[in-house]
Amino acid sequence: MWGNHNGGMEPTSQIIVALDYDNRAAAQDIVDKLGDRCHFYKVGLELLTAAGPEFIKHLVARGKEVFLDLKLFEIPNSVAGAVRAAGALGVSMVTVHSMGGTGIMAAAVDAARGFPALRVLALTVVTSMTDSDLVDIGIGDGVSTESQVLRLARLAEQAGCHGVIASPQEVQALRGRLGGDALVVTPGVALPGDSPGEHARPGTPRAAIAAGASHVVIGRAVTRAMDPVSAFLRVYGDLQL
Ligand code: C5P
């Protein structure tokens, strides 16, 4: 599967490239450019809505793994239906909001049982939210985003979720509290060399994996790069060091 044109790379499923596009042609173009180098793609609500499920089926048929980032937050019956529909497309990961509580997470996990390759990942606190946003929505004074993230991650684990989505800053704390098999999928990573601090290298793919992430998600730094292949190879190379 890995021909000479990719420089003898070993396949990796740890790097997930986010296809945040509003049309199929642009997404297809990047998939074609990355070729056999990239095995795993994230499709979010934008591309799903614009291009439809056919594109996801097409990716799966080409041997790609797909993380379908549905961010489900609905009544349990509707969540279960959406997870079954995702499973029928052949995707490997789907997301559900843990803030919806145990009922919707358990419904998602239950619905995924019919699809052995499908993993249900819980979103905790959306990365753009601050401590004051938590006060605004009634979570309560004195509750930090980190403690809320940890609380929701534990709830997700109890509900049977296969893992969580976590920012680079949260990975270590989460890995220390979740079971060893839990997936910790980390967006918000920078291309190696683009972040300050040559030694600490915070937020690089390597730092995220070293802190306990199972996968890293990288979007625009690869997909909007002048040379997406070399940007992807920088991420890949960072993980091989
Ligand atoms: O920023 P980038 O283009 O790499 O984002 C890729 C994906 O990671 C987005 O689709 C988004 O869902 C997710 N992301 C996130 N939190 C961030 C940055 C990105 O959840 N701080």
Ligand 1 cavity residues, CB under 6 Å: 18, 20, 44, 69, 127, 187-188, 217-221
Domains defined along the chain, listed by start:
11-240 (3.20.20.70)
Alpha carbon of 129 to ligand 1 centroid (Å): 14
pLDDT in tens, 16-61: 999 999 999 999 999 999 999 999 999 999 999 999 999 999 999 9
3-state secondary structure of 92: coil
Give residues with Cβ within 8 angstroms of 152, minimum separation 6.
98, 99, 122, 124, 125
pLDDT in tens, 96-118: 999 999 999 999 999 999 999 99
Active site residue 64: no
3-state secondary structure of 100: helix
Of 174 and 5, which is predicted with more confidence? 174
Which has the closest alpha carbon to 207: 218, 219, 192? 192
Give residues with Cβ within 8 angstroms of 61, minimum separation 6.
none
Q: What is the pLDDT of residue 5?
A: 37
Which residue has the least CA distance to atom 2 on ligand 1?
A: 219
Question: How far is CA 87 from each of CA 75, 84, 113, rounded to the nearest angstrom?
Answer: 18, 5, 9
pLDDT in tens, 184-233: 999 989 887 775 544 444 588 999 999 999 999 999 999 999 999 999 99
Q: What is the pLDDT of residue 234?
A: 94
Catalytic option among 42, 57, 64, 71: 71
Of 201 and 180, which is predicted with more confidence? 180
Q: What is the pLDDT of residue 240?
A: 85
* Token digits of residue 201: 């290298």
Report which ligand 1 atom has the smallest distance to the Cα of 223: 3
pLDDT in tens, 128-173: 888 899 999 999 788 888 899 999 999 999 999 999 999 998 999 9
The pTM for the full model equals 0.93
3-state secondary structure of 165: strand
Alpha carbon of 197 to ligand 1 centroid (Å): 22
* Token digits of residue 64: 């790609």
For the purposes of burial, counting CB atoms within 10 Å of the CB of 70, is it exposed (0-12), middle (13-18) or buried (19 or more)?
Answer: buried
Report which ligand 1 atom has the smallest distance to the Cα of 20: 10
Q: Distance from first CA to last CA of the chain, Å, rounded?
A: 23
Q: What is the pLDDT of residue 10?
A: 61
pLDDT in tens, 49-99: 999 999 999 999 999 999 999 999 999 999 999 999 999 999 999 999 999
Which range scores top for mean pLDDT: 3-7, 11-15, 182-186, 195-199?
182-186
Q: Is the pLDDT of residue 178 over 60?
A: yes
β-pairing verdict for 215-218 and 93-97? unpaired
In this structure, the chain runs to a length of: 241
Contact 173/150 with Cβ under 8 angstroms? yes
Of 227 and 5, which is predicted with more confidence? 227
Q: Is the pLDDT of residue 3 over 70?
A: no
Q: What is the mean pLDDT of residues 112-126?
A: 96
Alpha carbon of 169 to ligand 1 centroid (Å): 14
